[in-house]
Amino acid sequence: MEAFLYLDLTAAVAYRKALPEQVQQQHPAVAVLDIDATSGELVLHYALRLLRESEKAVVYIKADAAVTGIGAILPLLEELFQSPGNSLILLEGEHPRLLRMLQARPQVQFAQIEEENALGEVRQFLYKEA
């Protein structure tokens, strides 16, 4: 199973997000989950389970420096840090703390990206030959 996890860590949370919908339309076999900084414990538990059970996962993090509380997603990040190779983190926006965490782990695949380039990166990572 492949997974796409969209984490919205911005102050202005929108109900509908184009990128998760586009991933779902173009890649119907990919499990898509959209969460934000205010998601409850049950949703975060499901996201963690999705990461653990997927063969490959792309985690798209939309962040801004105004949102400093990322404690709720730390278990997700720890899972990603422990499973290098089968996951890719795409970071949109400026979040110095999160960027430092990613840069300090050379085994983690991550890239800073703009949303309009995300679909190509998702496709390339999920469907490249192992």
Closest CA to 6 of 51, 42, 40, 66: 51
Q: Provide the pLDDT for residue 39.
A: 81
> What is d(CA 84, CA 79) in angstroms, rounded to the nearest whole number?
9
Task: Give the model's confidence band at 94: pLDDT under 50 very low, under 70 low, under 90 confident, else very high.
Answer: confident
Lowest mean pLDDT among 21-25, 39-43, 71-75, 104-108: 71-75
Q: Provide the pLDDT for residue 55.
A: 92
Q: What is the pLDDT of residues 12-38, one digit of tens each?
A: 766 678 899 999 999 999 999 999 877
**Region 92-98 average pLDDT:** 85
**Region 4-8 average pLDDT:** 93
> Is-contact 72 37, C-beta < 8 A?
yes
**Region 54-70 average pLDDT:** 83
**Region 124-130 average pLDDT:** 76
Q: Provide the pLDDT for residue 14.
A: 64
The ranges assigned to domains in the chain are: 2-127
Q: Provide the pLDDT for residue 15.
A: 65
User: 41-53 vs 74-82: helix axis angle to the nearest 10?
Assistant: 10
The fold for domain 2-127 equals Rossmann fold (3.40.50)
CA distances from residue 80 to 21, 59, 108 in whole angstroms, order as listed: 23, 9, 8
> Is-contact 32 20, C-beta < 8 A?
yes
Check whether 46 has a pLDDT greater than 90: yes
At 37, the amino acid letter reads: A
What's the DSSP call for residue 66?
T
Check whether 82 has a pLDDT greater than 60: yes
